[in-house]
Amino acid sequence: MRIIMLGAPGAGKGTQAKQIADKYQIPHISTGDIFRMNIKEGTELGKKAKTFMDQGALVPDELTVALVVDRIQKEDCKNGFVLDGFPRTIPQAEALDKKLAEMEEKMDYAIDVDVPDENIVNRMGGRRACVNCGSTYHIVSIPTKVEGICDKCGNEVVLRDDDKPETVQKRLKVYHEQTQPLIDYYNSQGILKSVNGVRPMEDVFAEIVRILGA
């Protein structure tokens, strides 16, 4: 099963994608997580990506597409994968389709997690991410058991650099201009499914499972 998670920054793409990956035993491929790992490790890619990410802008298509095209050809992607945060522009979507066609494959579902802008800013301000394993929490809706400490690995959880309110506004603007057009793109391919993301995360997940089938 090949799945794309669409949705605004903070809509819950990552939260849902992790659960989909666990349930269906397919890799979770988050371009944001890959960039953050490269930043942490100080790689060339990380240095380039950081300048864009810190401003709430998109990393250039050529860097992002090369990364994903390489990743989806790995052995563990044979039975499918869930893409989180990619594609984010029409050229990225077209490049993905082209590559899959060469591999004689195609995407099965594009799931749009729909959350209005006014809910987003609250979610981002309350999000905490583990500095080590990347697990995400929310100080009100999904708190850690011990304040400030990751339930899974015991390291510190922090506010992401790009979750400051002014950067969130910029990311939302970029989302509406560059990423939202993908909803029509996948609708016209007949694979778009929209889910209401303003509900407890278990309910959102239950609806996604209904769409994907047990």
The reply on whether position 14 binds Mg ion by CB under 5 A is yes
199 catalytically annotated: no
127 catalytically annotated: yes
| 134 interacts with, out of Mg ion, ligand AP5, none, CB within 5 to 8 A per kind | none
Of the residues 25, 73, 79, 141, which one makes contact with ligand AP5 according to CB under 6 A: 141
Near ligand AP5 in 31-70, by CB under 6 A: 31-32, 35, 52-53, 56-59, 64
Stretch that binds ligand AP5, among 7-15, 96-104, 143-151, 182-190 (CB under 6 A): 7-15
Near ligand AP5 in 84-123, by CB under 6 A: 85-86, 88, 92, 123
128 catalytically annotated: no
Q: Out of 160, 164, 170, 193, which one is annotated catalytic? A: 160
The set of long-range contacts for 117-126, using a CB threshold of 8 Å and a minimum separation of 24, is 117/8, 117/172, 119/198, 120/8, 120/9, 120/10, 120/11, 120/168, 120/172, 121/165, 121/168, 121/169, 123/10, 123/12, 124/9, 124/10, 124/163, 124/165, 124/168, 125/159, 125/163, 125/165, 125/168
Please report how close the Cβ of residue 92 comes to ligand AP5 at its closest, in angstroms. Answer: 6
Of the residues 3, 4, 6, 10, which one makes contact with ligand AP5 according to CB under 6 A: 10
- Name the residues annotated as catalytic: 13, 88, 127, 160, 171
Binding site for ligand AP5 (CB under 6 A): 7, 9-15, 31-32, 35, 52-53, 56-59, 64, 85-86, 88, 92, 123, 126-127, 136-138, 141-142, 162, 171, 197, 199-201, 204
